[in-house]
Amino acid sequence: MMKLRVLDPAGEAAHPESKLAPRPADLNGKVLWFVDGRGHVEKSVPGMNRIFRAWRERLEKEYKFANIRYVRTDNIASPFRHGKETFEEIVKTADVVINGVAL
């Protein structure tokens, strides 16, 4: 009889798991940031890639945000990839952040 051994390539976690950040009960009146690590720039909406633009349009139909901000960079490897000042502004002003790499 042949035996099969399955190995987990993930290994052990280097840090303990943490809980998700608390979610706001309502998005009305909140400041929303789209933080794009890298993306395709659309000429119709300068700087905003098509995936984030679609989410923005969908969310704006449902909620009345106080402000919607967007930041994008191609330098996804640096710790403060959008600049330390931008990072601090996001931390101070954002109620909700949608972060990702959208092409």
Q: What is the pLDDT of residues 67-80, one digit of tens each?
A: 999 887 665 555 56
Where do the domains of the chain lie? Answer: 31-102
Which 8-state DSSP code applies to residue 14? S
Q: Which of 18-27, 69-78, 83-92 has the lowest mean pLDDT?
A: 69-78
pTM: 0.68
pLDDT higher at 52 or 102: 52
Q: Which of helix, strand or coil describes residue 1?
A: coil
Beta carbons within 8 Å of 96's beta carbon, 6+ residues apart: 24, 27, 30, 31, 32, 33
Distance separating the N- and C-terminal Cα atoms of the chain: 49
Which band of pLDDT confidence, cut at 50, 70 and 90, is reported for residue 84?
confident
Q: Which of helix, strand or coil describes residue 58?
A: helix
